[in-house]
A and B are shown apart, each in its own frame.
Chain A
Amino acid sequence: MNPYKVLDLSAEAEAKNIIAAAAKAMREKKYSVREIAEARRQLMNPKLRPLLDFICFADVEPLLRPADPPAESCSPDELERLDIFD
């Protein structure tokens, strides 16, 4: 369970944001009370917080970065009709 996802928070969230987010999550009822309480407890724990920041966030941009295109082939204009089927 990712506590940031449960409370819909970013890595920069401060204590007051966490409390407000927990209250909002309770109202929305997308997660159980237990899950929300656990997420709040984890994010409010200053020792656990750096670990959670590391575990719960990853930059996906390098995975989406365009790569070198495949080797150049001829262009469609250069294709010539074959007469082997005539």
Chain B
Amino acid sequence: MGHTCFFSLKGLFHKRRAAQLEAECRRLQEAAGQAEAADDHLRAAGLLEQVHTLRPENALLLRLARCWLRAGQWQQAADAYSETGCSGAADWYDAGFALAKLDRFAVCLRCWRQTGSSHPAFLAQQKQVSLLLLQELSRCLDEQSWAQEEQVRALLTEFSLTELPGGHELLARCDRVRLARLWQEDRLEEIMAMAAENDLNHPAVLEIQAKAACQLLAGRQSAVSAAELRQFMDCWLSALFHPAIAPQAEAERQALLEFGADLLRRHAARLNHDEQLMREWEELLALLHRLALLPAVREQNLPLCTPALALRTDQQEQFCTLIRTNQEHFADRRAWIAAGAAYASASALLLVRDNACQDALKELGRLEEQGDDLFLAHGAAQVRTACGIEALRHRRCREAEEILVGGEPQAGWSAELEKELLAVLAQENGHEAPCLAASLGILSLLPKTSPPDAAACAFCSALTKLVLRLHNGKQARPQLLAAAMQQAVALNPEDEFARMMLEEVSIALELAELHEAVDQGWLSKAARIAAASRYQQVAEHFFTAAQQVAVQLEQGHYPDDEAAMLILEDLLRSVSRVDPGHQMISSLRRALDDLRLRQEGA
């Protein structure tokens, strides 16, 4: 009984207390509402905080957060938003705004991303905060490069800050810091792998890239790809021709160049690329040595680099200007143009080097749009030669002809082109005739010499052999064979066999034309061919054909007398044109007279 009474009293006490609390909360909220209405957000926040202490509720906390924000109490607002969570675009914006005021720009931008807004005023403010973040990241990198690099890079990417002014530079700084770290940690493979992203214009970057590649090649026993070896070539040579990187002592620099050549030779031999890669090395070295001798380079201590590196670092135009304005310091015009072409057409020439001929030709088209330029024209001819050779190597003869002679400027002649073209002429694969036709076009590039040089003699002989084979097998049109033999004899007029073959195919061509004319019933055309021919066989074939026509007339194979008379007159004229004293003439005349008499009688 006593207990029951106690509990009822306690219950009553709680009910009264709860009612008092409710009343207090109501009063405080009403007061807060009035304060808000009077724009006294600080007082409103104080009142709401009391309510929240008495009766914690999420909705109340959100209202409190808004009041703190409007009162300019950024930390309290940020804490309240963080505790309650945001429910809409307005809350996300306000939460982000409070964070921006607290210099927490990255978290602000993450909140603002949730608004989904594209309002111009919002976007402008978002950009302002992004710029503030960029400045903060720059300061972080200045203060603690090693520790902050990865985080700075991640934030640059997360908020696309590289699109802002200074953003790209900051990313480049991150790259440099990372490179320094990798170098200190001896992570050479990673340094090699990031070469494509690094700014090799920076001497310290180039130096580390070159030295890492060198160490890697020196220590590696396994095979290295041709691309890695070329990367080494470009970095090593460019570093050793850079006044800020190369050793001052010339003997030491030479020793390092030789050390690089030895490394390259060792690795290239494993790839079975040694000849080509060593040739590339020698050409680049010769080019850089030539440029290093230019007075402008020596006097101003200019850094030099390979064409590939110049292309990557946007220095092509500088090199072209350097070469263009120093023609008198080159051994000859040819060397001068070749040096300029190496830089001016580097983009296309490098694609050729990597066996990407189709891309190289496309790139050539782009370069040629830049206008007429001596260096570009020479480079374009080199690209055409290389691409044409590549097409010949795959026996795409028509395409090769189009590339080599179809463009402007035309390709130049080279020993490699000579070798491939001779191989094409020697092939036996059923495609000899179209390849022969294309080869004749390509041979127009062969420099003419008198007396004929070894190349001209070799091509004369190869053409003759191929024509003989095609002629015997009746595998090609007589016109093509005659054209081929004319070119063969023009290449080497002393070649007896070629001259005989030319006669043979010329007779065959005239006979073919004669038979075609006879088959079409064009006797006068056949007579013109026979009369103009130097060959007895052609006239004989003509008279045989004429005889056959006469026999047909005799046998009455004609529609009527009038038609027979016309044919007979044509036949008589044609035979007289070829041989006015031919025995057929008298019999033809008699037949014609008989026919006339018969017509008059009728």
Contact = CB atoms under 8 A, between A and B. Distances in A.
B218 A69 contact: no
Interface in A67-81: 67-77, 79, 81
Contacts of A17: none
Contacts of B164: 70
Interface stretch (B95-103, B415-423, B437-445): B95-103
Given A55-B214, A58-B183, A69 B138 contact: yes
Contacts of B569: none
Contacts of A71: 131, 165-166
B233 to A, nearest CB: 16
B167 interface: yes
B93 A55 contact: no
B90 A85 contact: yes
B129 interface: yes
A35 to B, nearest CB: 10
Contacts of A73: 128, 131-132, 134-135
Contacts of A50: 247, 252, 255
Contact of B138 (A63, A70, A85): A70
Given A81-B97, A85-B93, A86-B90, A63 B103 contact: no
Contacts of B219: 1
A66 B183 CA distance: 19
A55 B184 contact: no
Nearest to A38: B219
Give the size range of A's interface with the partner.
20 to 34
A60 B204 contact: yes
A66 B125 contact: no
Contacts of B138: 67, 69-70
A77 B134 CA distance: 17
Contact of A64 (B180, B186, B207): B180
B interface secondary structure, majority: helix
Contacts of A74: 128, 132
Contacts of A85: 89-90, 93-94, 115, 117
A75 B115 CA distance: 23
B167 A70 contact: yes
Interface in B179-218: 179-180, 183-184, 186, 202-205, 207-208, 211, 214-215, 218
B598 interface: no
A5 B215 CA distance: 12
Interface string B152-195: 00000000000011110110010011011001101000000000
A interface secondary structure, majority: loop
B90 A54 contact: no
B204 A70 contact: no
B22 interface: no
Contact of B208 (A1, A60, A75): A60
A55 B211 contact: yes
B204 to A, nearest CB: 4
B180 A63 contact: yes
B133 to A, nearest CB: 9
11 contacts: A51-B256, A55-B215, A55-B218, A56-B211, A58-B207, A59-B204, A62-B203, A82-B93, A84-B119, A84-B121, A84-B122
Given A70-B131, A85-B115, 15 more contacts: A2-B186, A5-B186, A50-B252, A51-B255, A60-B183, A60-B184, A62-B203, A63-B180, A67-B138, A69-B166, A73-B131, A74-B128, A79-B100, A81-B97, A84-B121
9 shortest A-B CB distances, which residue pairs? A70-B166, A73-B131, A60-B180, A85-B90, A66-B142, A62-B204, A63-B180, A63-B176, A1-B219
Interface of A: 1-2, 5, 50-51, 54-56, 58-60, 62-64, 66-77, 79, 81-82, 84-86
